[in-house]
Amino acid sequence: GIEEGSPGIPQTIHLHAVDVVGDKEIPQDCFHVGTQFGVRIVVDEAFPPVVRKELHSAISKIKRPLLKNLLIAYEPIWAVGTGHTDDPKAIFEMAILIRRDLQKILGQKISDKIPVLYGGSVKASNAKVFLRDSGVDGLLVGGASLDAKQFAKIVKDASEL
């Protein structure tokens, strides 16, 4: 389905099993691809061959001008809202895999400008470790963003690194 974004906020198309975008079927359940104001790809799979395949598939459908607003977030589906998080070492390895594949697909000049984020039960108690030790450029914060104190601590910790 499609969620309408307000001006300046990416419109997001959630792809599940098989969704149709335009006249093309996209058989994937691992990505959310945003359009119009920017592009977000959320990788919710932790199996590298699947990640590679789906990353290539999703990026091939993005118009070149939108690549300047692309961001990739690794958010394992099993970690979303569960309180369980991935290990910083595993996140680091996934970030490297994503960056290497972006370089292969888009070239270094473009891929170096694309931030890789981690999301999946990010909270004030673990955000600093993720930012410091997992090789990501930022965090995709879900439920913790609804708690002002917790979110303020995440922002504070991020600004100190």
Cβ-contact 154, 122 below 8 angstroms: yes
Q: How far is CA 88 from CA 25, 55, 74, 129, in A?
A: 35, 21, 12, 7
In tens, the pLDDT along 71-103 reads: 888 888 787 778 888 899 999 999 999 999 999
State residue 127's pLDDT score. Answer: 94
DSSP 43: E
Q: How far is CA 144 from CA 35, 40, 73, 126, in A?
A: 25, 20, 17, 11
* pLDDT tens, the chain, 161 aa long: 333 343 443 433 333 222 333 334 444 443 444 444 456 677 766 678 888 888 888 888 777 777 888 888 888 878 777 888 889 999 999 999 999 999 999 999 999 999 999 988 899 999 999 999 999 999 989 889 999 999 999 999 999 98
Beta bridge partners of 33: 13, 41
Cβ-contact 5, 12 below 8 angstroms: yes
DSSP 61: T
The residue type found at 95 is A
